[in-house]
Amino acid sequence: MNTRKLVSLVIALAMVMTMCLSASAETVTELPRNESLYFAGQQWGAVATWNPIGVNQNNAMACTAQAIGSRTLMFETLYMYNFMDGSMTPLLADGDYAWNDGMTEMTVKLNKAAKWSDGTAITSADVVATWDIANKIGNGTATNYAAFISAIEAVDDNTILIKSALTEAGAPVNPLKVVEFLGNAFIVQKAWIETVAARNNDDATAILNDKADDVVWSGPYTKYISNDQQVVLIRDDNYWGQDASMWGKLPVPKYIVHTIFADNAAGETALKAGEIDVCQQFIGNIQDLWLKDGLPISTYMEEAPYQVCLTMPTAFFNQNIAACQNVTLRKAIALAVDYDSIIANAMTNQSPTFTDVPRSLMNPTEGEQALYDHDAVKDLQWAGNDIEGAIKLLDEAGIVDTDGDGWRELDGEKITLNACCPNGWTDWQASMEIVADAGKNIGVDITTLYPEWSVYQTVFTNPSQTEYAIFMYSPDGAGPAQPWGRIRQFMGGDLVGVENNWTGNWGQYTNARADEILAAIPVTTDEAELKALYTEAVEIYLTEVPSFSLMYRPAVFHEVNESVWTNYPDATDGRNIPPADCTDGYGIAALYELELVNP
């Protein structure tokens, strides 16, 4: 237990007695506090469906499939991804997956102890049926993986063969995405899939939107209460995972409760009051909660940046706008931005600086940082607030103020750009203000624009838009296909021109050599060759500057109040459980090790 926890323990013991006597005003059903783990920051609004093969479920606790580790409270994946070390721990699978020599086929064994909630065995037929229905109805599993997996076949009841999609030359398209599938896609019971298909007359749209109130699950929890004020999952005490081949026991909390708050401020208030145990939202100056307020609240790390940062909110230059096509102008703006101010103010130091972790295409984790040659690119990296260097670049390129109005011109036209992000995203808005200030400091007119998210999302995903010049969005964080996937999001030519583009390369940048590198990385197994490819990709990115990251940021925030429960994952505990809100990927291991402060 670290220092801040010891300091706040007395307060925690006092708080727990109070909380056992009263329920939050938000709670409509009282549950035993010493059996319930309360969450905030993930569920917004009432659950729409419990359908693991559907879409638009708005079901954060049960139906969140994601590359950083799918949320396996109710539905389970073959493996659990751990973003701390990139490992894949078997869940429904038994042992490691095995590639053939050409990585065109992967063999996965299933755990013979795995059972559905109705007591029937989980078999290869269920995995095949999950894949087949995905392709039939075009759900998220098909959207994410149909381009990389050609088929999934049953070898026997407990063995599956996953076949890679192949290029014309017979090579696998992307083995990294096949591995990602293992920890991302929920496996669903064949018999239940057939039931849903039959009652919806095999209509894809109807199947995708089926409410699934009769769904069969395999995970340790199932639905209990669901309304517009809270979502409650209850532990399935018959869960197969208590078998010695898996966890060997049940998770500790009987109830998983997500209160539906109006906004982040309400969630933060509840966390401070001890009404919430686990919070997934940005809280400015989080350290003040224990250093100044003495509350029993902690994060994964006791010192800044407090969290594990996996992604990099980034400003993209719109290549549809003539000025943004100028490399010198892009580099000058990126050099001039005061990133230390962004990190100190917008992120309240919950991010390493670009001096601590020099910019590249990699997140700050040790695994990704080891993938490229730092010395080879150090002359291209910048930490920001280099006004003098930016001015020199522009002057030498002849991008100067010729009419004396204080603003530079390019090709005879005053440079006028906007810097955009959604209204209400306060840390992003603060970042865009600092980008605009950087423009003023170097004679480039940059104004800020903050449309509502409902509008913003329709513009930045439009490949032909000219409304936003510099605009923010976050690339992917961690996952088995990273950092390849993130590099594709920054520079992948195959994403240029894609309508309603949520996948990446939102600035529409193209570079033929970058595309060659992206094609080579997934099929390169030699570590030296792979490092050379990643290094060259970083060189291209830092030279061309199609976008510039403004900060490092967690993919999920992990803030816990230890007034009721303790023994959460901690950077110093040596357990290698990721700070993933006790629910995502291998982060769910935390639920099996929680302890009551006052048993």
Secondary structure element (H or E) that encloses residue 5, with its range: helix 3-21
Burial of 310 (0-12, 13-18, 19+ CB in 10 A): buried
Give the Cα separation of 321 and 206 in Å (integer). Answer: 42
Within 10 angstroms of residue 205's Cβ, the number of other Cβ atoms is 11
Residue-level pLDDT at 178: 97
Q: Angle at which helices 527-544 and 512-520 pack, to 10 degrees? A: 150
Task: Report domain 65-208's class.
Answer: alpha beta
**What is the three-class DSSP state of 24?**
coil
Cβ contact 581:278 at 8 Å: yes
Closest CA to 541 of 489, 471, 463, 470: 489
Residue-level pLDDT at 214: 97
At the second CATH level, the architecture of 314-549 is Roll (3.10)
Give the Cα separation of 89 and 182 in Å (integer). Answer: 10
Residue-level pLDDT at 427: 87
Task: Return the biggest CA–CA distance within the chain.
Answer: 79
Closest CA to 417 of 547, 314, 346, 317: 317
Average pLDDT across each block of 10 residues of the chain; the chain has 599 residues. List them in order: 48 41 46 97 93 94 93 98 95 98 97 98 98 96 94 98 95 96 98 98 97 98 96 98 98 97 92 97 94 97 94 97 98 98 94 96 94 98 98 98 96 97 92 98 98 94 97 95 96 95 95 97 95 98 98 94 98 96 97 97
Q: Angle at which helices 190-199 and 124-137 pack, to 10 degrees? A: 30
Cβ contact 570:300 at 8 Å: yes
Burial of 547 (0-12, 13-18, 19+ CB in 10 A): buried
Residue-level pLDDT at 30: 83
Q: What is the 3-state secondary structure (H, E, C) of 259-276?
A: ECCCCHHHHHHHHHHCCC
Take residue 292 and report the two structure tokens written for it: 């100044």
Q: What is the third-level CATH fold of 1-41+220-308+555-599? A: D-Maltodextrin-Binding Protein; domain 2 (3.40.190)
Give the Cα separation of 242 and 545 in Å (integer). Answer: 51
DSSP codes, 151-181: EEEEEETTEEEEEEPB-TTS-BS-HHHHHHH
The residue to which tokens 């060759």 are assigned:
529
Residue-level pLDDT at 361: 98
Domain extent listing, the chain: 1-41+220-308+555-599, 65-208, 314-549
230 phi/psi in degrees, rounded to 5:
-160, 155
DSSP codes, 214-265: T----SSEEEEEESSSEEEEEE-TT-GGGSTTTTSS--S-SEEEEE--SSHH
Take residue 453 and report the two structure tokens written for it: 């998210």
Residue-level pLDDT at 11: 43
Cβ contact 218:114 at 8 Å: yes
Take residue 148 and report the two structure tokens written for it: 């990389």
Residue-level pLDDT at 23: 37
Cβ contact 466:508 at 8 Å: no
